[in-house]
Amino acid sequence: MSEPTAAAAAASQSTSPSVLAALVGALRGGTIEVVDLTAPLSSTTPVLELPPEFGQTAVFELEEISRYDDRGPAWYWNNFRSGEHTGTHFDAPNHWVTGRDLADIASVPARQLVAPAAVLDVTDEVAKDPDFLVEIAHIEAWQDRYGPLPDAGWLLVRTGWSSRSAAQDTFLNADETGPHTPGLSAECARWVAERTPVLGLGVETVGTDAGRAHGFDPAFPCHSYLMGSGKYGLTQLQNLAELPPTGAVVIAGPLPIVSGSGAPARVLALVERPGQPS
Ligand code: MN
């Protein structure tokens, strides 16, 4: 009885087009590359620092439970402590007061965790000015060249800032006037949140807002407008230079912390390399 069933299944497989089979073949053949956009998570991973009157996020810490020793002779494992917003992480809408009644991190629909990405490259501008702000005109110029921002996709802003991520001081780039890191102007943040179809904004810096954004109107406009519009943030991304301006697919996997405001995430991108041997 099992023979006809197996034959039928084989026939079905050979005659039905399978996008997933093609995907697996392309991954194995190297014509689709998996690019890791995630920063390694350790006690030296940079974290946001707020003025001292505010609560502070934790750095990532490991606490060893056992390591093939008398606490557990055949096994190694750890507990860890981390902020939700430590390292490469995903901001849920309820992270900001404007989105307080919207989704927590565990409520972000799984289908939104796989999404196309547009990559805006402002590396040259940021190299000249660490306080560089993306304006609406920059995104409009990108759209004139590459087409509309992806519906229910990510806008990823490539700044080159991840090259500073080995150390807290170079990553936060703070002086007596505060941190100096790139971001979006308040007007641009509002436009992205309210006038574009994107799912969210991804950046290389410690948060989606610019270092000076505490002084913008409103303060922290990317958080304020994006979270208030039910959109998301992805931060501390790296390897954005390996992505094309359009066509990459981002897989962002935050931990589903029930009621949480965000979570560390493994963020990957699928990138077509048509020139590679299959
Ligand atoms: Mn965050």
User: Lowest mean pLDDT: which of 3-12, 189-198, 245-254, 264-273?
Assistant: 3-12
Residue 95 annotated to the active site: yes
DSSP E strand stretches across 173-247: 174-175, 178-179, 183-184, 200-202, 232-235
pTM of this structure = 0.92
* pLDDT for position 278: 46
Tell me which residue of 119, 48, 90, 21 sits closest to 233, measured CA to CA.
Answer: 90
Check if the beta carbon of residue 115 is closer than 8 Å to that of residue 249. Answer: yes
Instruction: Name the domain count of the chain.
Output: 1
Q: Which residue spans within 82-173 are E strands per DSSP? A: 89-91, 114-121, 133-134, 154-158
Q: Please, what's the largest Cα pairwise distance for the chain?
A: 78
Residue 142 alpha carbon to ligand 1 centre in Å: 26
CA of 256 to the centre of ligand 1 (A): 15
Residue of 85, 95, 138, 223 marked catalytic: 95
What is the Å distance from ligand 1's center to 151 Cα?
23
Residue 221 lies in a domain: yes
Q: Which domain holds residue 103?
A: 35-58+84-272
pLDDT in tens, 72-98: 999 999 999 999 999 999 999 999 999
Residue 8 falls inside a structural domain: no
Q: Is residue 142 scored above 70 in pLDDT? A: yes
Model confidence at 162: pLDDT above 70:
yes
**pLDDT tens by residue, 218-238:** 999 999 999 999 999 999 999
Across 168-247, the runs of DSSP E, i.e. the strands, are: 174-175, 178-179, 183-184, 200-202, 232-235
Whether 14 is in a domain gets the answer no
State the CATH number of the domain containing residue 51.
3.50.30.50
Q: Is residue 195 part of a domain?
A: yes
Domain presence at residue 24:
no
> Looking at residue 32, what DSSP letter applies?
E
